[in-house]
Each structure stands twice: as structure tokens, then as C-alpha cells.
Structure 1
């Protein structure tokens, strides 16, 4: 899967706001080139909400183990939730991961946010394409549910 294929897939889901920070938009330079996905049917970044998925194209401070400094390397990060995390990894999010975080086309616990139920794939390919799509859709559904619960609580 290419970054453009992932962006097209997730961005095509109803109510998704796709942010691609770049020069001149007020975003931190470190985030330029990355992509962030939010469930936001009104097109506004939700307050106090993390994206449900991201694509990062470089190492961030404290998050270098995926070795995204390699040419063409990128990582898809997915807020899969505890249930899906356990189903896919065979262990609870807070248990230590045993998979090499730099392995390509391999589903891994996110090297920094795994304890919060995030999964990741460096350069998804034939082995992980179907799982990546399924997980992105799961993360989308979870984000949409959270958004709807908050909207109901605010209205009620």
C-alpha cells in the first residue's frame, strides 16, 4: 500500500477530516509530510481529541525504533482499541511487545502508544494490506462512536 492509497481509503470514509501539515499552515515543522485522520463531520479538528490514525514519514524524538529515516519508509499508526489489539497481537496492550518495530509489512504494537491500544505497520505490503484496511476501518468506527457519544452528551 502506498501512502496515497491509504489516504484515499481513509479519506473516503464519511465524516473523515484529513490533515496534511505543511509550510505556511501554522503547524510544527516536524509534522510536515505526515497525515492525520480525525472523525469530524463538520470539518473542524475536534477539541481535545487525538486522530484515530496517522501516517508518519520520519522519526520523532523518542520514537526512532521504526527507523523511518530509511528512504521511502513510513508508518501507519492505528488506534485499534484494546479488544482488536489483543486479537491481533495475542497480548494485552501494556505487556511488552516482542516484534521488531522496524520490520516492514508486519503488524506491530505501536512503539510508543502500544500501551494505549495503538497498532502500527511500517510500509504495509501484501502481508498486511487486508489487516491494515480492516484496522483503519475499526479505528474509524471507534472514533465515530466516541464523537456521537460526546455529541449526545452535549445535546442532552
Structure 2
């Protein structure tokens, strides 16, 4: 680690501590050249893939957009916030596990539909009707048959 004071590359770790949450490591360091001390923090940086939309444009993944989509589909349904948060975590975990830099929006939509199907059938149909652009009653009937 480079010293922030004299830019020397030779530093020594004096103390290492893990945060109470277990997601951060704090290190006290001392520069071998100027003898000044400084603190560094280590955290895992998870980078979710970019989303490739149907028109080919790319957008940054948005946790908030995913959450609002799920909450909109689940509006006035008897599903706890914890269940929604767990579903979001599963979707994000799946996106990370794919190891891709870019993922088609259709793939994200399918993951959302899978989670909604588990959580609440009515919310699943709500989301599917918009996501799949149901044009007629037959489309609804087909989606309902999938649930049975």
C-alpha cells in the first residue's frame, strides 16, 4: 500500500480488525520511510452487470428500479417486505453468479417473474401482463394455465 504522505510503497500493517458486521477490514499502517501512520479499509466491491435493453441500449443496473418493479406488482398483496428483500437478493445473487458484464433485460425480467411466481400468483400475472404485453384474453388464459 502506498503511503498517502510521501508516496513510498513500503508500508507495514500494525493492526487489523474486522468490523462488527464482518463486511469491512480496518488496517492501521505505518510508512517505513516517513514513519507516519494511516488507516485503510477493505470492502468487497460487487459490480452488477450492465443491462442491455431490447433496443440495444445499455443501462447501469439499478437496485431501486428492480425493487420498485417488484413492489408495484405486489401492491396491496399480502407479501412481507422481508420476502421482497429476499427475492431481490436472490435475483442480484443470480445476476452476479452469471459472471457476465452485460445481461439482456429479458433475462432480468424472467428472473423477476420466477420470484413473483414464488411469492404471489396475482403479482406474477400483473407483472407478466405488462412484461409480456398481453394483447388479448387468450394471453391471460395462457399465463393462468402456466400457474396451474
Larger of the two Rg values belongs to structure:
2
Give the number of the structure with larger relative contact order, counting CA–CA contacts within 8 Å between residues 6 or more apart: 1
- TM-score interval, normalised by the smaller of the two chains: under 0.3
What TM-score, normalized by structure 2, do the two folds share? 0.24
* Higher strand proportion: 2
